[in-house]
Structure 1
Amino acid sequence: MAGKVRHLKVRNGRYSARLVVPKELRSIVGKAELETQLGPDRRQALARLPGAVASLQAKIAVAERQSNAGKPVAARYPMTPEEIAIANYQLLIAFDLEIREHDPRFANAGFDDLRVAGLRAGMAGRLTDDALDELVGYQIEHFRNRGNTDAVKGTTEWRRLAINLCVSEYEALARKVERDEGDFTGKPAHPLIADAPPAGTPHEPVLLMKLLDDYLTMLERQGKGREARKRWTPVFNDLVAFVKHKDAARLTKKDLVEWRDKKLETLAAKTVADVHLASVRAVLTWAVENDRLPSNPADGVKVKKSKSVRTREKGFRDDEAIVVLKACRNYLPAVTANPSNRESAKITAAKRWAPIVCAFTGARITEITQLRKQDVRQVGDDYVLRITPDAGSVKTADYRDVPIHDQLIDLGFIEFVRESVDGPLFHNGKSDDALKSARTSSGRVSNWLQGLGVIPEGVQPNHGWRHRFKTVGEELGVSSRVLDAIQGHAGKTAGDDYGDITIVAKRNAINRFPRYEITSNG
């Protein structure tokens, strides 16, 4: 049984090419569908289908330009310069056959020797862009009108397209010469035409930004990827700008390698690998898995990262931790007569409380600076703080409750929370920008500590507490599974998902952490 052919419709024994008009263009086109009759013979209909579809697509492309008031738009039915050259060759060959059937004078017509010489020079790449434009520019416009290209004169893509069109027309003229002598067996000699598969119907674009949006929407439905949209959208916009089109189906491994190399000129290898390539690879992999793309051009595109040299532990040592925490607990903001220069009370609170809360929870700094008053509460005899995505962001997209160490209570943390107004404890942001505000507070704490000169080289001012918590916990013999539950680390095995780590288990672990010998003024 013959398979279904895209855009080919049959009704009452007759075939037609039919295209659905995009909703946003129907008011201009005046129809919801466009259709061209192809006749009753299936073989002839299949032969005529690509040309008929291309003509219908051209009408839609014209309507799209009208809707954009003449502004440049991306090709709706994109084809590579090579595909366009093959399509042009086939159009010229088909025209040659058709005109011979209607006008005997055609076989006796001569050639424009200057044009033939120009095509040879164009094929060889000897012509300027202006000369190429004069020679084949009208053909480029023909395929632009069909929605097959948005190449701009002066770009590498436009020049490659112009040269390829010189090849296709020169080869078509060679066939005409052969046919004028009665030889209809001639084959193209140039590898661009000779080695290429037949040009099919121009494909519908697989828009990169649509793939990104669909992938992120899927993640968000699962409660994941809350920060990915903000971080990944600029990456995909940058890729689109680099390749100068929006079609994921046209992406090649070469495109991504060149983009990677361009990014490495200004960005760290880790950033390019872990943000740029990782995001693109994830979306394209999902597209392949969901039959949106046939293959993933990002496969095998990697960044060689130099191994960082470590000369010490990642976390604070005992003496270093005490120096930092003393500075935090004794901190007082600078006094100024100008109210506009005064430090926010919540930034002051972040500098005084966030580091020591991190020291006794092993939490990420932003998980602490995004805490709200309602996130600190009493459960039975225990005070706990809830780290939840509702407050801003949690890497695992899951809440966790962490008991509050007795030293924090003795230092007045619970009183500080009780006396605070409802809402965030350490920033003034609203709910729609809470994460950004919490990160700002985290950065202010980090910059302040760096400025004091109390952060050892090789230690991150905020993340150093996370490393220290795990190190001290291991020294105390606390179960790694309990430590992971307190810190919000994913389990290492499937078995870690069985059973719950209770508040009691976490409290017993937290109680084993020793107090810091620090003084405080409040």
Structure 2
Amino acid sequence: MGKEVRHLQHKDGRYYARLGIPVALRSIIGKRDFTTALGADRTAALDQLPAAIAAMKAEIAAAKRQLAAPKRDYRPAPSPKRQLAPVEIAHQHLEARLAFDTEVRAGGSDLIGIGSPNPKYVRQLRDIAAGRRPDPLPEPIRLALDFAKRHGPLADEAATLRMLARAELVALDTEMHRDEGEPDPPVPADLIPPKLEADKQSPRILSEDSTKTLGELLPRLLQERKPTPSTAREYEVMVRQFEELIDPPPAIHEITRRTVQRFKDRLLEAPSSATKRFPGMTLPEAIEANRKRADPYPGLDPKTVNDKTLMRLNGLLNWAVRQDIIPDNPASGVKAEITGGKVKAPPRVPFAAGDLTKLFAPSLFGKAPEETRWAMLIGLFAGLRPSESAQMRLDSVRRERGVLCLVVEEETKTEGSRRMVPVHSTLIGLGFERYVAGLRSTNATHLFPGWYADGMRAKQEAEANGSTVLNQFFPRFIPRRFNVTYRKNAGIADPRKDFYSFRHTFKTGLSSAGVERGLMDQLCGHRDGSAGSVYVHSVSVEALKEAVERLVFDGFDATTIKT
């Protein structure tokens, strides 16, 4: 059966994912633990287990948020003097009555269609609609009137009573049509509020969903698209920001280009990392609090606004266009202006020859864990991104036309990142093939099994909290240990020289060797291309091998490296 796997339960020949629920959350979730069936095949069950546990943890995280103190509502409280017009009160009552009837019918209740309305009740309703008020009022009308009064003083109680009676009569008539299997009759014009009637005539309203807000439509988009947890989180954050900054939240058909411009302008006023710097505050509150600081935090970067928030808003509105909810996308082409400024120092720079001598000194390099040593070497002689190295399967280390290659084909930064990098002869001389053979003999699946396992655990935890970004979890391990400890021990203090600098050193070395720009970009994964471009090369693997072998680092003797 194999060794026991955490959260995997085997019972009666079938496998289940099981996760206990903290005691404090059981009253919210309504059970003691989660259980999800994974089938009878152990291999398939293991494949499904991480996603199942991540979904369970996401529900636990949502329950924890319910326990937390609610955020203050930045929106002003409705004026107690504001009172709905009689037609608005009656329309709301009619909608609530019909919605309840629909719910009862969906539940298959035996009460449906058992008889006609009470004649006495109908007579009372007709009297009230004609302006004659009985004493006492029928209970449904009295309750509806009391509910309306809780919103504030009635402008015209008699008119409100008449309209409520009209709405109740229409509801009874509609229920009888439904009992006979007939379609609902049209709502009388005098029970349709003027604004709603105007909305119904708007050319931007194409369906009933056109009058819903972004927050109301988002669950449908997520259900249809089934995005990754990180993408879903970005959509949720965008909608939250939109509905905090554009108050009250408009129906989707009411969103105009000016609405989107106003949203973009307000976003640019927001401080970066607002939820961390101003916990518990909405964006409008965070903007105001930041203004009052003696040294305000910097605002959101325009590129972030474009590439994250506005991109997700465009995605939601484009989906709405395709669903015939709105006729066009008012956010199309709206961008935050990115202006020039001071030239920033590069965040990373290549290692100098002296740096490489220190980093690969036998006294230091020889004491590093085996995975760390090979991760450094592959970064220097193959230029792989940390997330590419961490995810590389042993099956992706293979020969193409007789040339041993590292084939980058797992989850990558972009489709253009998929590529083949021939293994440099220095790596082969240092025993790279022996390293791979040793891993295969232990039934390992990845080039860096420990690093990969650490990264996947971090990924599952991040997805459970709904805060993932593609591959953000892999740099937390070998690269972080290198940046925090190894680099310091090597005597390298420049913060711009970190683990990622191996990749910069690789590309700089190719450029210094006179490798043509197209070849260099293809080796580094900077070339645009389709998902299948790794198999259909515009450049032969022999040419790539020749380019890689031109890589040398003047002033650094690679023969001193000992693995």
Q: TM-score, normalised by structure 2?
A: 0.49
SS at match of 1:133: coil
* CA–CA separation in structure 2 for the residues paired with 1:209 and 1:416: 48
* CA–CA separation in structure 2 for the residues paired with 1:369 and 1:521: 22
1:469 to 506, 514, 523: 506
* CA–CA separation in structure 2 for the residues paired with 1:411 and 1:55: 80
Once the two structures are TM-superposed, the CA of residue 232 in structure 1 deviates from its matched residue by: 2.3
Q: Which runs of 5+ in 2 are unaligned?
A: 1-88, 108-125, 134-147, 169-189, 202-206, 276-299, 461-470
* CA–CA separation in structure 1 for the residues paired with 2:372 and 2:340: 34
- Which residue number in structure 1 is paired with residue 46 of structure 2? none
Matched, 1:134 2:142: no
- Which residue number in structure 2 is paired with residue 293 of structure 1? 326
Once the two structures are TM-superposed, the CA of residue 378 in structure 1 deviates from its matched residue by: 3.2
Matched, 1:521 2:562: yes
* CA–CA separation in structure 2 for the residues paired with 1:68 and 1:321: 72
Once the two structures are TM-superposed, the CA of residue 282 in structure 1 deviates from its matched residue by: 3.6
2:480 to 447, 450, 463: 447
Matched letter for residue 423 of structure 2: I
1:302 to 328, 336, 347: 336
Once the two structures are TM-superposed, the CA of residue 416 in structure 1 deviates from its matched residue by: 1.3
SS at match of 1:402: strand
* CA–CA separation in structure 1 for the residues paired with 2:397 and 2:357: 27
Q: Deviation string for 1:370-389 (max 9, x for gaps)? A: 12222212345422111112
Alignment of 1:186-205 (within 5 A): 198-200=198-200, 203-204=208-209, 205=212
Pick closer, same or farther for the CA change 1:435–1:465 going to 2, 3 Å. farther
Alignment of 1:134-173 (within 5 A): 134-135=152-153
* CA–CA separation in structure 1 for the residues paired with 2:362 and 2:344: 27
* CA–CA separation in structure 2 for the residues paired with 1:197 and 1:59: 20
Matched, 1:233 2:224: no
1:266 to 250, 255, 274: 274
Higher relative contact order (CA 8 A, sep 6+): 2
Alignment of 1:347-358 (within 5 A): 348-358=369-379
Q: Deviation string for 1:9-52 (max 9, x for gaps)? A: xxxxxxxxxxxxxxxxxxxxxxxxxxxxxxxxxxxxxxxxxx99
- Which residue number in structure 1 is paired with residue 185 of structure 2? none
Once the two structures are TM-superposed, the CA of residue 464 in structure 1 deviates from its matched residue by: 2.7
Worse-superposed segment, 365-374 or 457-466: 457-466
Matched, 1:375 2:415: no
- Which residue number in structure 2 is paired with residue 284 of structure 1? 317
SS at match of 2:448: coil
Pick closer, same or farther for the CA change 1:435–1:321 going to 2, 3 Å. farther
* CA–CA separation in structure 2 for the residues paired with 1:103 and 1:198: 28
Pick closer, same or farther for the CA change 1:485–1:67 going to 2, 3 Å. farther
Q: Deviation string for 1:337-373 (max 9, x for gaps)? A: xxxxxxxxxxx33421223212222222110111222
- Asked if the contact 2:392/2:408 (under 8 Å) is kept, the reply is yes
Pick closer, same or farther for the CA change 1:310–1:65 going to 2, 3 Å. farther
Alignment of 1:395-410 (within 5 A): 395-396=414-415, 399-410=418-429
Matched letter for residue 484 of structure 1: D
Pick closer, same or farther for the CA change 1:443–1:388 going to 2, 3 Å. same
SS at match of 1:134: coil
- Which residue number in structure 1 is paired with residue 32 of structure 2? none
Q: What is the Cα-based RMSD across aligned positions, in Å?
A: 5.2
Once the two structures are TM-superposed, the CA of residue 507 in structure 1 deviates from its matched residue by: 0.3
SS at match of 1:315: coil
Q: Which runs of 5+ in 1 are unaligned?
A: 1-50, 70-98, 107-129, 147-171, 173-191, 218-227, 335-347
Alignment of 1:42-441 (within 5 A): 58=96, 61-62=99-100, 103=130, 133-135=151-153, 198-200=198-200, 203-204=208-209, 205=212, 207-212=217-222, 214=224, 216=225, 229-242=228-241, 243=243, 248-249=252-253, 251=255, 252-253=259-260, 254-255=262-263, 257-258=265-266, 261-262=269-270, 264=272, 266=274, 268-269=300-301, 270-285=303-318, 287-288=320-321, 291-299=324-332, 300=334, 302=336, 307=341, 309-311=343-345, 314-319=348-353, 321-323=355-357, 325-326=359-360, 330-331=364-365, 348-389=369-410, 392-396=411-415, 399-420=418-439, 421=442, 422-428=444-450, 429=452, 433=456, 436=459, 440-441=473-474
* CA–CA separation in structure 2 for the residues paired with 1:239 and 1:313: 28
* CA–CA separation in structure 2 for the residues paired with 1:301 and 1:406: 48
Pick closer, same or farther for the CA change 1:377–1:435 going to 2, 3 Å. farther
* Aligned residue pair count: 345
* CA–CA separation in structure 1 for the residues paired with 2:149 and 2:348: 63
Pick closer, same or farther for the CA change 1:198–1:440 going to 2, 3 Å. closer
- Which residue number in structure 2 is paired with residue 504 of structure 1? 542
Q: Deviation string for 1:285-341 (max 9, x for gaps)? A: 45446644334344425275775643458431433651564169944668xxxxxxx
Q: Deviation string for 1:407-446 (max 9, x for gaps)? A: 1111222211111132123244569948939754432233
Matched letter for residue 229 of structure 2: K
* CA–CA separation in structure 2 for the residues paired with 1:136 and 1:208: 36
SS at match of 1:383: strand
* CA–CA separation in structure 1 for the residues paired with 2:477 and 2:320: 40
* CA–CA separation in structure 1 for the residues paired with 2:481 and 2:106: 51
SS at match of 1:501: coil
- Asked if the contact 2:436/2:447 (under 8 Å) is kept, the reply is yes
* CA–CA separation in structure 1 for the residues paired with 2:106 and 2:270: 31
- Asked if the contact 2:371/2:448 (under 8 Å) is kept, the reply is yes
Pick closer, same or farther for the CA change 1:136–1:504 going to 2, 3 Å. farther
SS at match of 1:377: strand
* CA–CA separation in structure 1 for the residues paired with 2:362 and 2:316: 43
- Which residue number in structure 2 is paired with residue 479 of structure 1? 516
Pick closer, same or farther for the CA change 1:365–1:427 going to 2, 3 Å. same
* % identical equivalent positions: 20
- Asked if the contact 1:322/1:517 (under 8 Å) is kept, the reply is no
Pick closer, same or farther for the CA change 1:442–1:105 going to 2, 3 Å. closer
